[in-house]
A and B are shown apart, each in its own frame.
Chain A
């Protein structure tokens, strides 16, 4: 025992030990990325080849459970964020004598940034957690093995409907969140701060164009993909027992949350560059 420890101490001199840890992480990360890549590929392949009556029925059930039942919470979140935005922004605008123009900044921030990201984060908690837990429990109780034994591909029967439902419903929910967010801002500006209706909506409208709306929806689409694929992946690879499922849910949420923020940044830069390419004379609106 003692001998064992001294020999180990000799091996782990700080530099090689540090390198070994870094190397271990790298190998691990590459492995997970590869595994996730294969999983993603089988989902996409399944979406294009594996739709049948059963998966379509499951798709509608999932769209109801994920989408329709999430509307209240998403609207609540959106409404309060829009209101808070107005509370913070209006005094600043008023100070420079531009109180009437506050509508445009509220609309742009809600539709392009806050609406999609906030909706995605709420859905990552609400849907991601339940997807991971459901699939993880199915894996632990051998239901996924049972599917395979009965010649039903688990990815096609379970994952494809969930991912499709999430991709479809996230943009829809984002629209709900955006609308209530704008109304929340309106309520504060017009109802509390005394901006008049006409200038509020006039400037709100000048801030918006098709591209702004499209940016929000494209983001929501990718967020839906991120949430559902990560959650399903975590469920399929979860460890044993109740603890395994619980841990998979936490890891799934954290990973989903980080990837949403990262994807938001990358998409914002990309879409902004596209905007500059298409309309070079307009000011950048990042």
Chain B
């Protein structure tokens, strides 16, 4: 299993050390170790239900590990009380898998929410930010629409605009291209690339979309059975001999899975 040692001099931005997490009897993370390098985009792949979203939620303290440690810039964060976590959360942008827009507010207010929460912005600055972020995701002019009136893909893009509104240093994307058409997906890929290249945003992208993964990834890690089973660059993973990894990136069903279908 090749491990790239291409770490930035000041260490990983986020580090998981032997993290365990279970829900009742369901073991989701089982001794997970992961380093996320600064200013790079790390893509997390893995089958549905392995705990990719759970992994992201540990980074911002929405879930706490049962055991193990999580670090942010070398500071241990998994045991911080809720109040002390707030300044750290402000440095993150989080795109939820289900968008999680506030449905009592219109699109503009959703994007303005982090700014108003932080305080100290003029109304003009807020309006400009809303307009700018909405144009980036291709929804200029939708400020006054309500989230309930948008399609799933549109909601996702508004959620992305909201995640970006404070220009965070780390962006966590949970399936940013799911539910988007191929062209819009590509725009989002370019956006992730641009944020990383131009603004030095550290990104963690959870995705099932392998085209997107290969395009945006500096590193790809594969999560399986609660552990990182593979880690490498996009090229390394393409040429990885591990059959399990190959099957996943090429999207081939296993013999057992096909057998189950035969019984129909």
Contact = CB atoms under 8 A, between A and B. Distances in A.
Contacts of A143: 100-103
A17 to B, nearest CB: 23
Q: How large is the interface on A (under 10, 10 to 19, 20 to 34, 35 or more residues)?
A: 10 to 19
B98 interface: yes
Contact of B94 (A54, A138, A149): A149
A142 B96 contact: yes
B60 interface: yes
Interface in B55-110: 57, 60-62, 82, 86-87, 89-90, 92, 94, 96, 98, 100-103
Nearest to A61: B104
Given A143-B102, A145-B57, A145-B62, A150 B114 contact: yes
Contacts of A150: 89-90, 113-114, 117
Contact of B100 (A146, A151, A152): A146
A100 to B, nearest CB: 54
Q: How large is the interface on B (under 10, 10 to 19, 20 to 34, 35 or more residues)?
A: 20 to 34
A146 B162 CA distance: 10
A246 to B, nearest CB: 18
A235 to B, nearest CB: 14
Contact of B117 (A138, A141, A145, A152): A152
Contacts of B89: 148-151
A91 B86 CA distance: 66
Interface string A132-162: 0000001001110110111111000000000
Contacts of A151: 86-87, 89-90, 114, 117-118
Contacts of A149: 60, 62, 89, 92, 94
Contacts of A142: 96, 98, 100
Nearest to A54: B116
A146 B102 contact: yes
B209 to A, nearest CB: 21
B114 A145 contact: no
A142 B82 CA distance: 17
Residue from A142, A149, A152 whose CB has the most chain B CB atoms within 10 Å: A149
Contacts of A153: 82
A232 B60 CA distance: 24
Nearest to A155: B82
B86 A141 contact: no
Residue from A138, A146, A150, A151 whose CB has the most chain B CB atoms within 10 Å: A150
Nearest to B93: A149
A138 B101 CA distance: 9
Interface in A240-281: none
Contacts of A152: 113, 117
A206 B61 CA distance: 62
A19 B87 CA distance: 48
A148 B86 CA distance: 8
Contacts of A145: 57, 62, 96, 100
A129 B72 CA distance: 41
B30 to A, nearest CB: 23
Nearest to B102: A143
Contacts of B87: 151
Contacts of B90: 150-151
Nearest to B96: A142
A143 B92 CA distance: 16
Interface in B207-224: none
Contacts of A54: 116
Given A149-B62, A149-B89, A151-B86, A141 B100 contact: yes
Nearest to B88: A151
Contacts of B116: 54
Interface of A: 54, 138, 141-143, 145-146, 148-153
Interface of B: 57, 60-62, 82, 86-87, 89-90, 92, 94, 96, 98, 100-103, 113-114, 116-118
15 contacts: A138-B102, A141-B98, A141-B103, A142-B98, A143-B102, A146-B100, A146-B102, A148-B89, A149-B62, A150-B90, A151-B86, A151-B90, A151-B114, A152-B113, A153-B82
The 4 A-B residue pairs with the shortest CB-CB distance, nearest first, are A142-B100, A146-B100, A151-B86, A149-B94
Given A145-B96, A148-B82, A152-B113, 10 more contacts: A143-B100, A143-B103, A146-B96, A146-B101, A149-B60, A149-B62, A150-B114, A151-B86, A151-B118, A153-B82
